[in-house]
Amino acid sequence: MLQGKVVVFSDSQSVIHLCKNLIYHERTKHVDVKYHYVRDQVANGTVIIKKVPIEDNPADIRMKIVTAAKFNHCLDLLLVRVG
């Protein structure tokens, strides 16, 4: 059993809005029912969704093609020191 809350960071305002807004949207009808679990967890306070600025998102290092400067910035965000 989890103790405390889980904080999930996202750089997508759309994702944050969909997770927090429990109202059905016509554009989300393709979302499988099993993915509504996140909405339920946000509604009961177990999961907190927070905005992370796109320039400070350390996940970019694994998700996108990045410049050397952005790569080094992501390493700094992850507290990784190279040689």
Whole-model pTM: value is 0.62
Reported as a pLDDT band with limits 50, 70 and 90, residue 53 is confident
- What span, in angstroms and rounded, lies between the C-alpha atoms of 49 and 16? 6
SS3 49: strand
Q: Please compute the mean of the pLDDT values over residues 62-80 and round it to a whole number.
A: 85
Q: 10 Å Cβ neighbour count for 35?
A: 10
What would the pLDDT profile of 3-37 be if each residue is shown by its tens digit?
788 888 888 888 888 887 766 666 666 676 767 78
Q: Tokens 């992850």 label which residue?
A: 78
- The amino acid at 25: H
